[in-house]
Structure 1
Amino acid sequence: MLEAHFNQAHDGASRRNAEIEKTVFHLITSRVLKKGDRILDLGCGPGLYSSRLCFEGMKVTGIDLSRRSIDYARAQAERDGHDIDYICADFFNIDYKETFDAVLQVYGEICTFSDEKRDLLLSLVHRALKENGIFIFDVSTRELRMQEGLKNRWYFSEGGFWRPGRHLVLEEGFDYPENDTWLNQYIIMDEDGEVKVYRLWFHDYSLEKISRVLEQNGFRVENAWNSLSGEFYRKGGDWIAIDARKV
């Protein structure tokens, strides 16, 4: 996973550097984020956004469940002289109260949660934000998933994302349109015969639906774009990026 975060050939675990730079530039030039703001980066990975925001004069706390990503981020911050508080933890266990000016969660991670987990996260974010604080995130739309389609294939790998050694991958997709939900299932078989199954769920949103969810959880949509890099919003885009204000 750590290697995938840095791979510039695809957007497997993180978006590529050029898009990350555009996102940070947009959030700063649009005054959504400002020098001196205190930022909470949820699912920060190896600090690709946190480090850039710190460089722009913000006080950043990054939280991620991956020990390797956090260890890398801490080492990088030390090398660069960045004062960033990196924490290896499940962000569903955060317990901040009116601490941050903004909370950031990028690359559609909110789409991987059930409605119950999503609302729990929103309650934790709401509590962590100062008065009039903002939650910045993006969600995928059904249009993106329709473009990607349902995978039904198998392939052999000498080593890669799922395993460092040789393995077989059986991939199959399932669509539940009544719930705007998709499942990508991966069955991985190692050379020694060990089999593991990974299921990745995605709940897609329209602007109307995510706006209702936010209103029900104490937020108001301030701005909507088709990407966190500031692409002008149009219905039917692949992504919806949101700047939501705590109310």
Structure 2
Amino acid sequence: MDKRIKNIDLTVPYKKIVETIGNKPIAYETTGIPFWDDEYISKSMLALHLNPDVESASRTYEFMDRSVDWIVSLLGKQDGKILDLGCGPGLYAKRFADKGFSTTGIDFSQRSIAYASENYGGEKNEFIYQDYLTIDYDKEYDLAILIYCDFGVLSPENRMALLKKIYRGLKHGGLFVVDAFTSNQYKEFTDSLTVEYENGGFWRADSYINIKRNASYPNQNYLEQYTIITAEDCATYNIWNHGFEPQELKKTLLNASFASVILYGDVTGANLTDESPIVCAVCRK
């Protein structure tokens, strides 16, 4: 027998698998395992960010162009300071810089921040590798953005804590633009458990088994859970989101002291309808 195999305690992965599948997590429970900043997964994420034709990590480049044009029209000015939360590889910062704005981008992926700094950093833009929940924004920004429906990923407590930080960091009259999924996004969502084998892919370079669990919770909370099993170990990632009713989102933002909140159907200013899968809020301090 290979001594390397002999020295592996195979009961550990089995125990993790049984515990994960047998115990449904409470809403917004985390596993404590890095996702955005994982050495391999962050490489897969960056590749998706930089693919101009897919929306797995960022929206298409064409959509981002229209989005930035619309946001700039809301600001009614050609320069100013922008706070981009969850900035990824700086794709929005690059577009705002082209229009005369300077951006502070914050992201918890060291790989994405390194890419943004190398390609779009300099006089106009700065990029910070940090969890945006842990920063106190002491600069006065004309605009803050949290785009691509990341707001619902946060627990209700973290949402309110972040909103208070953003509010303090904005100038008087400054704008906060945020989007979120509505309940329409989850009309086809069903509880399920599936098992797939991948000979290397998004989660790991080598072969792995992916046990995916979809689970719905009260109050329109949803879990996509991935348990990744390799020859050596297993790791579980809980990815949460929330389906907002538009007026629920508006109330949450007004409760964070914003003076006004106007709702749209997406971050290009589309009309909000009863069927919209996304709601975008433009909040003024």
- Using the TM superposition, give the Cα deviation of residue 219 of structure 1 relative to its aligned residue in structure 2, in angstroms: 1.2
Q: Distance in 2 between matches of 1:9 and 1:189?
A: 30
- Residue 48 (structure 1) aligns with: 91
Contact 1:221-1:242 at 8 Å conserved across structures: no
Matches within 5 A, 1:171-182: 171-176=212-217, 178-182=218-222
4+ residue runs over 6 A deviation? none
Q: Which one-letter code corresponds to 1:37 in the other structure?
A: G
- Residue 197 (structure 2) aligns with: 156
Q: TM-score, normalised by structure 2?
A: 0.80
Residue of structure 1 aligned with 2:243, choices 204, 212, 220: 204
Q: Which one-letter code corresponds to 1:23 in the other structure?
A: S
Contact 1:99-1:130 at 8 Å conserved across structures: yes
- Residue 147 (structure 1) aligns with: 188
Q: Distance in 1 between matches of 2:235 and 2:172?
A: 45
Uncovered stretches (5+) of structure 1, i.e. residues with no partner = none
Q: Distance in 1 between matches of 2:188 and 2:75?
A: 31
- Using the TM superposition, give the Cα deviation of residue 151 of structure 1 relative to its aligned residue in structure 2, in angstroms: 4.6
Q: 1:71 to 1:98 in 2, by over 3 A?
A: closer
Uncovered stretches (5+) of structure 2, i.e. residues with no partner = 1-44
Shifted more, 228-237 versus 8-17: the winner is 8-17
Matches within 5 A, 1:54-69: 54-69=97-112
Q: What are the Cα deviations for residues 129-161 of structure 1, in whole angstroms up to 9, with x where unaligned?
A: 011111101000111012354453222222222
Q: 1:224 to 1:73 in 2, by over 3 A?
A: same
3-state SS, counterpart of residue 174 of structure 2: strand
- Residue 230 (structure 1) aligns with: 269
Matches within 5 A, 1:83-232: 83-97=124-138, 99-176=140-217, 178-190=218-230, 192-232=231-271
Q: Distance in 2 between matches of 1:164 and 1:7?
A: 19
Q: Which one-letter code corresponds to 1:197 in the other structure?
A: T
Shifted more, 153-162 versus 43-52: the winner is 153-162
Contact 1:55-1:82 at 8 Å conserved across structures: no
Q: Distance in 2 between matches of 1:6 and 1:31?
A: 27
Contact 1:103-1:129 at 8 Å conserved across structures: yes
Q: TM-score, normalised by structure 1?
A: 0.91
Q: Which one-letter code corresponds to 2:86 in the other structure?
A: G
Determine whether 1:70 maps to 2:104.
no
Q: Which one-letter code corresponds to 1:240 in the other structure?
A: V
Overall identity of the aligned pairs, in %: 30
- Using the TM superposition, give the Cα deviation of residue 16 of structure 1 relative to its aligned residue in structure 2, in angstroms: 1.8
3-state SS, counterpart of residue 230 of structure 1: coil
Determine whether 1:4 maps to 2:11.
no
Root-mean-square deviation over aligned CA pairs? 1.7
3-state SS, counterpart of residue 219 of structure 1: coil
Q: Distance in 2 between matches of 1:111 and 1:225?
A: 17
- Using the TM superposition, give the Cα deviation of residue 223 of structure 1 relative to its aligned residue in structure 2, in angstroms: 2.6
- Using the TM superposition, give the Cα deviation of residue 245 of structure 1 relative to its aligned residue in structure 2, in angstroms: 0.9
- Using the TM superposition, give the Cα deviation of residue 193 of structure 1 relative to its aligned residue in structure 2, in angstroms: 3.6
Q: Distance in 2 between matches of 1:32 and 1:149?
A: 40
Contact 2:152-2:241 at 8 Å conserved across structures: yes
Contact 2:53-2:61 at 8 Å conserved across structures: no
Q: Distance in 2 between matches of 1:226 and 1:68?
A: 32
Paired residues, number: 241
